Chain A
Amino acid sequence: MIYLGIDTSNSPLAIALIEDGVVLIEETSNLKINHSLTAMPAIEEMMKKAKVLPADLTHIAVAEGPGSYTGVRIGLTIAKTLAWSLKIPLHPVSSLKVLAANGQGFDGLVCPIMDARRGTAFIGLYEGVSLEPVTADQHSDVKSFLLKAKELGLPILFTGVDVALHEALIIEILGEAAHFSGVQNRLPRASNLILLAQDTLESDVHHAVPEYRRITEAEANYNKAQEGQTL
């Protein structure tokens, strides 16, 4: 059994190969280079190094979002096309849960954050040991999410490359309850993605689509206009 894991849901690129529970190779970079350009060459190169042929793969794990719209689409397009071409199962995993896995073992909650501009983020809350979701992954105003999280009265570990952008606000709202993962633990790891994928049901390859957690601006405007008309 060889799993290929792909996470391009935010600025970092994370890929890995795990064979029968052993991590063969894992690569993580945060160079903010276009995933469309770099993801496939990185996968090709990594598989060459590990002497794994496309036909040797038995499972594909992919971070399904939320995150950058373009980023999650690139990962999902590559993953579903590989899985369909090779006739092997595809296992999509929440990209926030992949980040949360960086804090697994924390005695409290883990909060992965991906910035979505204008004070908003793709954000979630996971139980620190089991990694069970405490709230659904969502696109939310960071401040109001933090205020609600505070009411749970538990220590929270924040992770993700974009945590730095919101650090001041987090401390202001949560004070002592706020904990931060070290910078080395803020990037998604595709090994974590694969380990989570092993407990995830495979999805119908053709119908696998990103979990955007947010409708498009055009649809939001259209809905607003429609509401205006019916009032």
Chain B
Amino acid sequence: MGIETSCDETAASIVKNGKEIVSNVVASQIESHKRFGGVVPEIASRHHVEQITLVIEEALQLAEMEPHQLDAVAVTEGPGLVGALLIGVNAAKAFAFAHQLPLVGVHHIAGHIYANRLEQEMEFPLLALVISGGHTELIHMKEHGDFTVIGETRDDAAGEAYDKVARTLNLPYPGGPHIDRLAHASNDAVVFPRIWLEEGSYDFSFSGLKSSVLNYMHNAAQRGEHVAPESVAAGFQNSVVEVVTGKTMRAAEEYGVRQVIAAGGVAANKGLRHSLEIAFKEKEIPFYIPPLPLCTDNAAMIAAAGTVMYQKGLYGNMAMNGRPGMPLTSWI
């Protein structure tokens, strides 16, 4: 069983052998946070307490399983919102204790990467692009449980930049899908800079791009010019897509990987997905991206990663705590 409460989704799932989803329940709080224009941590924590046992029960019911049929309980230990994490962690501890099951603490990003294993067996060496509201990372894996972060964002996560740009375009929260949709409706994209950073770097930076968009809007407003939101959305998205695709491609070639996988909420973005698919097809490198419900936060991915940790004997204990700044470390 997997349990995930690191941000604004309360989720529980049962996964067989780390590969096969038996049940996957996600209670989203998006509606509760919309009016605030973003996730309010205290409200997220309150909702997790309301939902947690309901979600775990539903996961068992949909699977038509009893707790004693489970081998272990995996839970997101970090990173994430501290108050949100510790609801999942304490529920997992209490559930594991009640049924005397082994407990496994999973890194949220490892979960996102292992979401792919629910669709497609992983082949190593592998490159993972994790791109979401909280993360933008390129991770090289030589084998199961081996993680080397070769690039990460130096400022905003891609999803954050999407939300901020969406706000300046008066689009509702969460902004990603709206920008994606508008971008597709445009055929004269504004040209914004591509932020490549220094030569050879796999790191990302989105705050400069975000500022360019804001400046552009501000200058147009001062001149009293009308700005077509489609053109701005398309320009912003083009810049993100080109840089992310370019760096992912270069890393895949440099590390000679046998597989490239994408994960995280922003990976579901149509523009980005399309660009990555075309690029890797040309280079004949197998590229996979899980379906939307497995890109966004879910507990099946935590169970999938947790299964490999369980097989390696990496158990946690009752002193497990939510770790908001947990680093991604290898399991070997």
B5-59 contacts to A (CB < 8 Å): 35-36, 40, 42-43, 45-46, 48-50, 52-54, 56-57
User: Could you say which residues of chain A place their CB within 8 Å of the CB of B53?
Assistant: 80-81, 84, 205-206
A81-B83 contact given A36-B89, A216-B40, CB 8 Å threshold: no
Stretch of A93-101, A149-157, A162-170, A217-225 that contacts chain B? A217-225
A188-231 contacts to B (CB < 8 Å): 205-207, 209-210, 212, 216-219, 222
User: Could you say which residues of chain A place their CB within 8 Å of the CB of B50?
Assistant: 207, 209
Closest to A6 in B: B94
Q: State whether A81 touches B91 (Cβ < 8 A).
A: yes
Q: State whether A41 touches B318 (Cβ < 8 A).
A: yes
A37 interface residue per 8 A CB criterion: yes
Q: State whether A216 touches B46 (Cβ < 8 A).
A: yes
Interchain CA distance A81-B73 in the complex, whole Å:
13
Interchain CA distance A70-B318 in the complex, whole Å:
18
User: Could you say which residues of chain B place their CB within 8 Å of the CB of A207?
Assistant: 50
* Per-position 1/0 for B293-332, Cβ under 8 A of A: 0000000000000000000000001110110000000000
Among B42, B86, B94, B322, contact of A81 (Cβ-Cβ < 8 Å): B94
Q: State whether B97 touches A37 (Cβ < 8 A).
A: no
User: Could you say which residues of chain A place their CB within 8 Å of the CB of B56?
Assistant: 81, 84
Q: B89 to chain A: closest CB distance in Å? A: 7
Interchain CA distance A41-B42 in the complex, whole Å:
25
B100 interface residue per 8 A CB criterion: yes
User: Could you say which residues of chain A place their CB within 8 Å of the CB of B46?
Assistant: 73, 209-210, 212, 216
A78 interface residue per 8 A CB criterion: yes
User: Interface size class for chain A?
Assistant: 35 or more
Interchain CA distance A218-B87 in the complex, whole Å:
20
B90-130 contacts to A (CB < 8 Å): 90-91, 93-95, 97-100
Interchain CA distance A11-B56 in the complex, whole Å:
29
Q: State whether B91 touches A217 (Cβ < 8 A).
A: no
Closest to B36 in A: A218
User: Could you say which residues of chain A place their CB within 8 Å of the CB of B317?
Assistant: 41
A73-B95 contact given A40-B318, A206-B53, CB 8 Å threshold: no
Q: B326 to chain A: closest CB distance in Å? A: 14
A40-B97 contact given A73-B87, A206-B57, A218-B40, CB 8 Å threshold: yes
Interchain CA distance A166-B98 in the complex, whole Å:
41
B151 interface residue per 8 A CB criterion: no
Interchain CA distance A209-B100 in the complex, whole Å:
25
B67 interface residue per 8 A CB criterion: yes
Closest to A44 in B: B318
User: Could you say which residues of chain B place their CB within 8 Å of the CB of A23?
Assistant: none
A15 interface residue per 8 A CB criterion: no
Q: B132 to chain A: closest CB distance in Å? A: 22
B interface: dominant SS? helix
User: Could you say which residues of chain B place their CB within 8 Å of the CB of A44?
Assistant: 97, 318
A26-51 contacts to B (CB < 8 Å): 34, 36-41, 43-44
Among B35, B43, B57, contact of A216 (Cβ-Cβ < 8 Å): B43
Q: State whether B99 touches A73 (Cβ < 8 A).
A: no
Among A85, A206, A216, contact of B54 (Cβ-Cβ < 8 Å): A206
Q: State whether A34 touches B321 (Cβ < 8 A).
A: yes
Q: State whether A36 touches B36 (Cβ < 8 A).
A: no
Q: B107 to chain A: closest CB distance in Å? A: 18
User: Could you say which residues of chain A place their CB within 8 Å of the CB of B52?
Assistant: 77, 80-81
A161 interface residue per 8 A CB criterion: no
Interchain CA distance A212-B99 in the complex, whole Å:
30
A40-B54 contact given A209-B49, A218-B36, CB 8 Å threshold: no
A106 interface residue per 8 A CB criterion: no
A89-147 contacts to B (CB < 8 Å): none
A25 interface residue per 8 A CB criterion: no
Interchain CA distance A34-B82 in the complex, whole Å:
12
Q: A94 to chain B: closest CB distance in Å? A: 17
Interchain CA distance A37-B86 in the complex, whole Å:
9
A73-B94 contact given A37-B319, A41-B319, A85-B99, CB 8 Å threshold: no
Among B43, B57, B90, B99, contact of A219 (Cβ-Cβ < 8 Å): B43
Among A40, A76, A82, contact of B319 (Cβ-Cβ < 8 Å): A40
Among B83, B91, B99, contact of A70 (Cβ-Cβ < 8 Å): B83
Closest to B51 in A: A206
B interface residues, Cβ below 8 angstroms from A: 35-36, 40, 42-43, 45-46, 48-50, 52-54, 56-57, 67, 83, 86-87, 89-91, 93-95, 97-100, 317-319, 321-322
A interface residues, Cβ below 8 angstroms from B: 34, 36-41, 43-44, 54, 69-70, 73-74, 76-82, 84-86, 205-207, 209-210, 212, 216-219, 222
Given pairs A69-B45, A77-B48, A80-B52, 5 additional interface contacts (CB within 8 A): A40-B94, A54-B100, A80-B53, A209-B50, A212-B46
A-B contact pairs, 17 of them (CB 8 A): A36-B90, A36-B322, A37-B319, A54-B99, A54-B100, A70-B45, A73-B46, A77-B52, A77-B87, A78-B93, A82-B94, A84-B56, A84-B57, A85-B67, A206-B53, A206-B57, A207-B50
